Amino acid sequence: MHRSTGQATLEFLLLAGLAAVLTIGLGAALASGAAASTADALRRALRPPSPAHDDTWAIGSATWAPLIRRYAPLVVLERDRYGEDASVPVDFARCRARKCARFGIARSVVYVHLVRRPDAAYIHYWFYYPDSRTTHLPDAGLGTHRDDWEGMIVRLAADGAAARATAHGGLAGAGPWWATAPGWRPIGPRPVLYRASGSHANGFTQADIDVAGDRWNGTLGDVTPTFIAADAARSLRRRFDPAASPPWMKRLWRDPNAAGTGSDGTQGREVAAARAWAAAREGLGGLTR
C-alpha cells in the first residue's frame, strides 16, 4: 500500500514537471523564433479557451503575462505645438477630462485583450484619451470630439511577432496607415510606438502618425502604461462619444485582421483622403507643407 502511494506521487510530480516544461517552452519558443517549436507550442496553447480564460486571466497567466509584458509598447508622445494636448492614456473609470490626464501627473494605463486562434494569438493594447482633435489646431479644430480610443495589436505566430497600430480609422503596419496595403510590421520586444498630439494616431515611425509630409513636432516624453483587463472595462458599460467607439464595439475586437477600425471592420474616410494626398504629393516631387 505504501509502495502504491509513492508511485502515484512520483507520477503526479512527473506530470506536473511536464506541464511546467511545456509552459516555459512556449515563452522560450516565441522568444527564440524557432518556427517549428513555436508552431507546436502555439498549437497546444491555443486550444479553445474555457469561459474562465478571459483578459483578466491572461494578465495573470503564467503563459501569457510574460508575453503581454514583452510586447507592450513604449509610447512616445508628440508635443502639441499649441500646448493644448499633453494627455497620456488613462483609466476612463477614473479620468475623463484633459486636466487629469496630463503627462507627468496622470497614471498611464493600457487595456489588454487576448484573442486566440488555431494558428496565431493576438494581444490587443488599447489606449483611452479624454478627447480628440484630428487637426493640430487649438480647441474646436476639425474632428474634435469627447473620448478617444486608439491601439496596437500584436500577432504571435510561428513566423514570429508582428504588429499593427490604429490611426484615423486605418491601421499602420509595415507601411503608413494611408498605404494601400500597410500589412503587419515585424517587431521585437518592447516596440516603440509614436503617438500624435491631438488626434492620438499611432505609427511605428515619426513620419507615419499623420498625413504624408507632416512633421514630428518634438517629443513631449514617453510612457510605459500599466495593464487593465479590457473585458473588465467592458463590463462597466460606460457610454462614449458616438465618434469614439470603444474597442469591444469594433470588429477588430474579435477579428484582428480586419481592414480598419470601424464597427464593421472598414477603414475611415480619412484613409482615402490621406491616400489621395500622398499620391498627389509624390506627383509634385515630395512637396512639403
Q: Return the pLDDT at 53.
A: 78
N residues, the chain: 289
The total of other beta-carbon atoms located within 10 Å of residue 166's CB is 26
Asked if 87 and 101 touch (Cβ cutoff 8 Å), the reply is yes
Cell numbers representing residue 50 in the block? 474555457
What's the rounded Cα separation, in Å, for the pair 68 and 77?
21
Mean pLDDT in the chain?
Answer: 84
Q: Which residue has the higher pLDDT, 32 or 131?
A: 131
User: What pTM did the predictor assign?
Assistant: 0.81
pLDDT tens digit sequence for 117-140: 999 999 999 999 999 987 655 565
Residue 192 is predicted with a pLDDT of: 98
Comparing CA positions, the residue from 248, 286, 267 lying closest to residue 55 is 248
**Residue-by-residue DSSP string for 229-288:** EHHHHHTT-----TTS--GGGSGGGT-TT-SSSSTTSPPPHHHHHHHHHHHHHHHTTS--
